[in-house]
Amino acid sequence: MNAELIDRARGFAERELLGRERWFDSKPPAPTAASAALHAAGLANWWLPAEYGTAGASLTDSVDIVSELSYADAGFAFSSFLSVLGTTMLRLYGAPALAEQYLGRMAAGGGFCGILVSEEDAGSELGRTAALFTAKGDRLVLDGDKYFATNTDAADFLLVAARSAEDDAVFGVVLVPRDTPGVEIVKRWDMIGMRGSATYQVRLSGCEVPAANLLRGHGLRLLEAGLNASRILIASTAIGVCRRIRDLAMEYAAAKQVKGAPLLGNAVFAGKLGQVEMLIDVMRNQCRSAAAEFDRAMASADPAAALYRAGTLRSALAAKMYCGQAGWEVATIGSELFGGLGYTHDHLIGKLVRDLRYVGLVEGGDDVIRDLLYTRYVIPTAKRR
Ligand SMILES: Cc1cc2nc3c(=O)[nH]c(=O)nc-3n(C[C@H](O)[C@H](O)[C@H](O)COP(=O)(O)OP(=O)(O)OC[C@H]3O[C@@H](n4cnc5c(N)ncnc54)[C@H](O)[C@@H]3O)c2cc1C
């Protein structure tokens, strides 16, 4: 474990984020100055290989880095790590020169990679994706509407999931530089939580890029490879938010009197906090072990082939679903603990509850995750362990 890096993330969160929760919750313009500060602290895009001049952290260390950032603001953390989905796909399945060019630029500037997959009609059935790429000589032309896409406006480049106009069975992922004519931000969504991050509806109209910007392999498989990393880090945000709820609960209980004594010494309160600590510990262990599995695949002789073959990792699916559910249990305990105050905007718990809800929704709601676990790991008898 890279303790120095995790300490640096904690120090950054204490210095730059803590105490600014209301501001992050106000839907600040993106990117915020905090992103530039993250870059100045040598932490932007910390998972990229160190050859790019970044911190070069493993995904296992990223679990704790995300927990530290999320302790202060989950939206900021999400916006800071979500590029891992696209950069993983680009590193593994992009032409080397393309990867070098765009990852190098992103690392140098502390920028973002937007990921444009979801569509209004297709929902989680990516096989129904309607966005199209059309071959035009040695160019590709992209058209389509994407429903939710985080960081897009500030991104250096976008990775767009689309199908071939010539062959319906061909589903690909195409790199589109953000400044390509035809990339239009339709609107920024007014989300109920994670308001420190910016998510947009985006339209692509006749966006022309070199044909070499099409990543190698079936798009669904590439997405599954990258989603392993981002799903584990989405799960990790729940660890940070739940740690924050625990600490706020302890602060409150020290001052709150029940039956003539501080709530802190009350057996019912102790039981609740014991339960919270157990949930945090299991969340952290599941995220770390899923991340270690991902890191092992990345350290193998041929990580692109290893992750293409493996597809969606059971441990990553379990981490996201478990952390969403356990996080929600902690949110419920936290929200009740502060009494009526917990149902107001005066106390931070309301924001933490809203932020936590995203863990069980983004990159696949629980029904979708359960379906994936069943079809990939229960039906195939060879995969049952
Ligand atoms: C804050 C935020 C940021 C986001 N950022 C991005 C981004 O950067 N890029 C991007 O591409 N997308 C992004 N998204 C989209 C997000 O990943 C999707 O909204 C999420 O995966 C849910 O998909 P959906 O909206 O298509 O709903 P659906 O998955 O279609 O769900 C709608 C309903 O259908 C049900 N359902 C769907 N599939 C099944 C099934 N197999 N079995 C049973 N029931 C099912 C669900 O349970 C639910 O009730 C973001 C969303 C949010 C909220």
> Rounded to whole angstroms, how far apart are CA atoms 173 and 116?
9
Contact indicator for 319, 232 with CB cutoff of 8 Å: yes
- What's phi and psi for 357, nearest 5 deg? -60, -25
Say yes or no to pLDDT of 363 above 90.
yes
- Smallest Cα–Cα separation from 5: which of 82, 91, 52, 63? 63
Token pair recorded at residue 86: 């696209």
Q: At what angle do helices 314-337 and 349-356 cross, to 10 degrees?
A: 160
Say yes or no to pLDDT of 127 above 90.
no
Query: Residues 139-152: what's their mean pLDDT?
Result: 98
> Rounded to whole angstroms, how far apart are CA atoms 98 and 90?
8
Q: Please check whether the domain covering 113-213 is classified as CATH 3.90.400.10.
A: no
Among the atoms of ligand 1, which is closest to the Cα of residue 191?
1
Q: How far is the CA of 367 from the centre of ligand 1 (A)?
A: 10
Tens of pLDDT, residue by residue over 39-84, are: 999 999 999 999 999 999 999 999 999 999 999 999 999 999 999 9
Tens of pLDDT, residue by residue over 266-276, are: 999 999 999 99
Token pair recorded at residue 251: 């602060």
Say yes or no to pLDDT of 375 above 90.
yes
Say yes or no to pLDDT of 385 above 90.
no
> Rounded to whole angstroms, how far apart are CA atoms 265 and 257?
10
Residue nearest to atom 44 of ligand 1 (CA): 367
Domain spans, the chain? 3-109, 113-213, 219-383
Say yes or no to pLDDT of 381 above 90.
yes
Q: How far is the CA of 15 from the centre of ligand 1 (A)?
A: 34
- State the pLDDT at residue 374: 98
Determine what percent of the chain is predicted with pLDDT higher than 90: 97
Residue nearest to atom 38 of ligand 1 (CA): 368
> Rounded to whole angstroms, how far apart are CA atoms 6 and 65?
5
> Rounded to whole angstroms, how far apart are CA atoms 37 and 27?
18
* Strand ranges (E), 106-198: 113-116, 132-136, 139-150, 157-164, 171-177, 183-188
Say yes or no to pLDDT of 126 above 90.
no
Tens of pLDDT, residue by residue over 295-348, are: 999 999 999 999 999 999 999 999 999 999 999 999 999 999 999 999 999 999
Residues in contact with ligand 1 by the CB-under-6-Å rule are 115-118, 123-124, 148-150, 191, 194, 199, 358, 361-365, 367-368, 371
- State the pLDDT at residue 139: 98
Q: Looking at domain 219-383, which of 1.20.140.10, 3.30.500.10, 3.90.25.10, 1.20.5.510 is its CATH number?
A: 1.20.140.10
> Rounded to whole angstroms, how far apart are CA atoms 241 and 355?
8
Q: How far is the CA of 316 from the centre of ligand 1 (A)?
A: 17
DSSP 8-state code for residue 2: -
Pocket test for ligand 1, best of 84, 124, 159, 194 (most atoms within 8 A of CB): 124
Query: Residues 22-34: what's their mean pLDDT?
Result: 96
Helix (H) / strand (E) element for 350: namely helix 349-356
Query: Residues 130-149: what's their mean pLDDT?
Result: 98
Superfamily of domain 3-109: Acyl-CoA dehydrogenase/oxidase, N-terminal domain (1.10.540.10)
